[in-house]
Amino acid sequence: MAPQVFDKDTCDEVRNKFVALATDTSKYYQADLDRIKTDNNYVSRFITHQKENKDDAAKMIESVFAWRKQNAVRDLDFSKNTEKCLTSMYFKNKDNEGDDIMWIEPKYFDKTKRADFEKYLVWLVENRERESECSQITIVLALDGLGLSEADVDYIKYFINIFMYYTADVMKKMVIHNMHWLLNGVWKLVSVLLSEGAKKRVIFVKNKEIYKQIPESSV
């Protein structure tokens, strides 16, 4: 499901506000600058993410673009990845509305390779099949078998920050499947990073309840 697309005048107003902020274009990828000039769908994602506040949308574009260049997002390449542990994050199948599902299985994470996991997450989102269409995604956190000792709080914080501050209106909903009660404290700790709007997109399910969000054939 693509986000709302605003009219050209609205998008141009946000573009002009961004240009006023972007006094040093060397801080950004030229490809990102080119995209924001012509892609109304892309601009609209920032407007939607910031609840139609044009000033905040322009500020988010500037901060996201600077972050992308600082973190070499366009230079990441895991297309020939041989680290099996990284495959605990992957896109597979569609949700009930035909949007891509991103599956994350934290029990397979290796805390010693957190930096690689962080880069791989960004690369996955950046290179998903329908990114150019500005489509949204459903995220499934599959927590079967994950105990307190295996929970990597710092990575979970990073994960949330990516979808809160560095991607614009990409996460349609987050389905948390089979979270053990021992992780309630961890969730309270990290959920403070979510906006109230984002919290409403988080859905906790147990066992077959997931079929209300994800077709059984997609699980």
Quick: pLDDT tens for 170-218: 999 999 999 888 788 888 888 888 888 888 889 999 999 999 888 888 8
Here the tokens at position 86 are 């990284």
Q: Is the pLDDT of residue 141 over 60?
A: yes
How many residues make up the chain in this entry?
219
**Would you state the pLDDT for residue 17?**
98
Based on its alpha-carbon atoms, the radius of gyration of the chain, rounded to whole angstroms, reads: 18
Residues 36-81 have pLDDT tens digits of 999 999 999 999 999 999 999 999 999 999 999 999 999 999 888 7
CA distances from 79 to 82, 167, 213 (A): 9, 21, 29
Helix segments in 54-152, DSSP class H: 54-70, 114-126
Query: What does the DSSP assignment read for 99-151?
Result: -EEEEE-GGG--GGGHHHHHHHHHHHHHT-TTGGGT--EEEEEE-TT--GGG-
Q: CB–CB of 190/162 below 8 Å?
A: no
Tell me the per-residue pLDDT of 94-133, one tens digit each, with 9 for 90 and over: 998 888 999 998 888 888 888 888 899 999 999 886 677 7
**Token pair recorded at residue 81:** 């990845």
CA distances from 23 to 19, 36, 79, 165 (A): 7, 15, 34, 21
